[in-house]
Amino acid sequence: MEILRHIVVYLHIIGFAVLFGAWLVEAASRRVRFTRLMNVGLAIAGVTGLVLAAPWGMDGSPDYIKLGVKLVVLLVIGALLGIGTGRQRKGQLPPALFWSVGVLALLNAGIAVIWR
Ligand code: HEM
């Protein structure tokens, strides 16, 4: 069970890497736009995160306050990606929406690692 949990954490980190990596490629190329890969990464991080939020394959119980904060941040990223993709189709993606997604993805990774 513990190994299985570690594998889900591994997949969860891959989800983060796909989300943030896809965002970073656009930012580094000075393209203010959202791509499908960002949604894919968010979906992987979200599904695996919810699986990890259940108390299995670990001693003690998860920190539900920390997980609640992560869930809210994930939902905000999802809303920004949804609203931003709609705006992008009609014209231009507002830079604030684009930058917020990168910052919030990093924030959630930071919460996971630093909040102990
Ligand atoms: C954009 C969304 C998210 C990102 C970027 C993200 C990022 C990360 C990263 C980088 C780790 C590995 C850190 C470590 O092993 O200490 C991690 C662990 C974890 N994440 Fe997430 N996460 C996200 C969403 C969520 C959500 C929505 C949940 C659950 C509600 C969640 C639950 C967990 C759990 C339980 C762990 C295992 C380690 C721990 O307890 O901190 N994550 N996350």
Which residues have CB under 6 Å of ligand 1? 9, 12-13, 16, 19, 42, 45-46, 49-50, 52-53, 62, 67, 70-71, 74, 77, 105, 108-109, 112-113
Residue 19 has pLDDT above 90, yes or no: yes
Among candidate residues 114, 113, 83, the one with its CA nearest the CA of residue 98: 83
Residue 110 to residue 46: CA distance in whole angstroms: 16
Ligand 1 centre to CA of 54 (Å) is: 12
- Arithmetic mean of pLDDT over the chain: 97
Among candidate residues 31, 37, 30, the one with its CA nearest the CA of residue 16: 37
Ligand 1 centre to CA of 51 (Å) is: 10
| Distance from chain centroid for Cα 111 | 12
Phi-psi region of 51 (alpha: psi -120 to 50; beta: other; left: phi over 0): alpha
Ligand 1 centre to CA of 4 (Å) is: 16
Confidence of residue 98 (pLDDT cuts 50, 70, 90): very high
DSSP 61-82: ---HHHHHHHHHHHHHHHHHHH
Domain ranges of the chain: 2-114
pLDDT tens per residue across span 29-48: 999 999 999 999 999 999 99
Confidence of residue 116 (pLDDT cuts 50, 70, 90): confident
Q: Alpha-carbon torsion 102, 32, 41, 22, what sign?
A: negative
Question: What pTM, to 2 d.p., does this model score?
Answer: 0.94
Ligand 1 centre to CA of 91 (Å) is: 33
